Chains A and B, each alone.
Chain A
Amino acid sequence: MNRLIQNEMMKLIAKKRLVVIALIIGVLVILFTYAQYKQVETQREKLGTSDWRTTLQQQIVDTTNRLSSSRISDEWKKQLQISLQQQQYYLDHDINPSEPGAPTFIRIFLESSIDLFIPLMVMVIASDLVSSEHSLGSIKLLLTRPVKRWKVLLSKYITLCLAISLIIAIAGVLSYLISGVVFGYKGWGAPILTGFNVTDTGLNTSEVKLLSQWKFLLMDFGLVWFVAIVVGTLSFMLSVLIRSTAAGMGVMLAALISGAILNNMVSSWESAKYFFMVNLRLTDYMKGTAPPIEGMNLSFSMMVLIIWWIAALVVSFIAFTKKDVY
Chain B
Amino acid sequence: MEKKITLAVKNLKKVIGKREIIKGLTFDLREGEVFGFLGPNGAGKTTTIRMLVGLIKPTAGSIRICDYNVEEQFQEAMNNLGCIVENPELYPYLSGYNNLLHFARMIDGIGEERIKEVTELVGLSDRIHDKVKTYSLGMRQRLGIAQALLGRPKVLILDEPTNGLDPAGIREMRQFIRFLAEEEGLSVLVSSHLLSEIQLLCDRVAIISRGTIVRIDTVQQLLANRERVVWRISPLEKGKQVLSSFTSIEEMEDGTLLTEFDEQKTPEWNKQLVKAGVSVTEIYRKMPVLEDLFLELTGGDTIE
> Contact residues of A with B, CB < 8 Å?
3-4, 6-7, 10-11, 14-15, 136-138, 140-148, 324-326
Question: Which of A4, A141, A146 sits near B108, CB closer than 8 Å?
Answer: A146
Question: Which of A6, A137, A140, A145 sits near B107, CB closer than 8 Å?
Answer: A145
Question: Mind listing 28 A-B residue pairs with CB under 8 Å?
Answer: A3-B105, A3-B106, A4-B106, A7-B105, A10-B94, A10-B98, A10-B101, A11-B93, A14-B94, A14-B98, A136-B89, A137-B87, A138-B89, A138-B90, A140-B50, A140-B53, A141-B90, A141-B103, A144-B85, A145-B78, A146-B74, A146-B76, A146-B78, A146-B107, A147-B78, A147-B106, A324-B50, A325-B55
Q: Are B74's CB and A148's CB within 8 A?
A: yes
Task: Tell me the minimal C-beta distance from B139 to chain A in angstroms.
Answer: 16
Say whether, besides A7-B102, A137-B86, A144 and B55 are in contact (CB < 8 Å). Answer: yes
Tier of interface size on chain B: 20 to 34
Q: Are B75's CB and A148's CB within 8 A?
A: yes
Complex Cα distance, B91 from A7, in Å, reads: 12
- Please tell me if B297 contacts chain A, counting CB pairs below 8 Å: no
Q: Are B78's CB and A325's CB within 8 A?
A: no
Chain A residues near B90 (CB, 8 Å)?
138, 141
Task: Tell me the minimal C-beta distance from A157 to chain B in angstroms.
Answer: 17
Question: Which of A138, A142, A147 sits near B75, CB closer than 8 Å?
Answer: A147
Chain A residues near B259 (CB, 8 Å)?
none
11 extra interface residue pairs, beta carbon distance < 8 Å, beyond A145-B103, A325-B55: A4-B105, A7-B106, A10-B94, A10-B102, A137-B86, A143-B55, A144-B81, A146-B75, A146-B106, A148-B74, A324-B56
Report the nearest A residue to B90, measured CB to CB: A138
Complex Cα distance, B103 from A11, in Å, reads: 12
Chain A residues near B103 (CB, 8 Å)?
141, 145
Say whether, besides A4-B105, A4-B106, A146-B108, A141 and B89 are in contact (CB < 8 Å). Answer: yes
Interface string of B239-264 (1 = CB under 8 A from A): 00000000000000000000000000
Q: Are A325's CB and B105's CB within 8 A?
A: no
Most buried by A among B54, B78, B83, B89: B89
Q: Are B55's CB and A324's CB within 8 A?
A: yes
Chain B residues near A324 (CB, 8 Å)?
50, 55-57
Task: Tell me the minimal C-beta distance from A140 to chain B in angstroms.
Answer: 5
Complex Cα distance, B53 from A142, in Å, reads: 11
Chain B residues near A11 (CB, 8 Å)?
91, 93-94, 102
- Please tell me if B79 contacts chain A, counting CB pairs below 8 Å: yes
Complex Cα distance, B193 from A308, in Å, reads: 48
Report the nearest B residue to A142, measured CB to CB: B106
Chain A residues near B211 (CB, 8 Å)?
none
Chain A residues near B88 (CB, 8 Å)?
141
Question: Which of A14, A136, A138, A144 sits near B54, CB closer than 8 Å?
Answer: A144
- Please tell me if B96 contacts chain A, counting CB pairs below 8 Å: no
Task: Tell me the minimal C-beta distance from B74 to chain A in angstroms.
Answer: 7
> Contact residues of B with A, CB < 8 Å?
50, 53-57, 74-79, 81, 83, 85-94, 98, 101-103, 105-108, 147, 151
Report the nearest A residue to B57, measured CB to CB: A324
Chain A residues near B76 (CB, 8 Å)?
146
Chain A residues near B151 (CB, 8 Å)?
146
Q: Are B50's CB and A325's CB within 8 A?
A: yes
Report the nearest A residue to B14, measured CB to CB: A324
Report the nearest A residue to B98, measured CB to CB: A10
Chain B residues near A143 (CB, 8 Å)?
54-55
Chain A residues near B85 (CB, 8 Å)?
140-141, 144
Task: Tell me the minimal C-beta distance from B82 to chain A in angstroms.
Answer: 9
Report the nearest A residue to B92, measured CB to CB: A136
Q: Are A136's CB and B55's CB within 8 A?
A: no
Report the nearest A residue to B83, measured CB to CB: A144
Task: Tell me the minimal C-beta distance from A264 to chain B in angstroms.
Answer: 41
Report the nearest B residue to A146, measured CB to CB: B78
Complex Cα distance, B70 from A148, in Å, reads: 12
Task: Tell me the minimal C-beta distance from A4 to chain B in angstroms.
Answer: 7
Task: Tell me the minimal C-beta distance from B56 to chain A in angstroms.
Answer: 4
In the complex, the 9 A-B pairs of residues with the closest C-beta atoms, listed nearest first? A137-B89, A146-B78, A3-B105, A145-B106, A325-B55, A324-B56, A146-B79, A146-B75, A144-B53
Chain B residues near A147 (CB, 8 Å)?
75, 78, 106
Complex Cα distance, B77 from A143, in Å, reads: 13
Q: Are A141's CB and B147's CB within 8 A?
A: yes
Most buried by B among A4, A6, A326: A326
Chain A residues near B53 (CB, 8 Å)?
140, 144
Say whether, besides A14-B98, A143-B55, A144-B54, A136 and B91 are in contact (CB < 8 Å). Answer: yes
Task: Tell me the minimal C-beta distance from A318 to chain B in angstroms.
Answer: 14
Complex Cα distance, B54 from A147, in Å, reads: 11
Chain A residues near B55 (CB, 8 Å)?
140, 143-144, 324-326
Chain A residues near B50 (CB, 8 Å)?
140, 324-326
Q: Are B91's CB and A14's CB within 8 A?
A: yes
Chain B residues near A136 (CB, 8 Å)?
89, 91-92
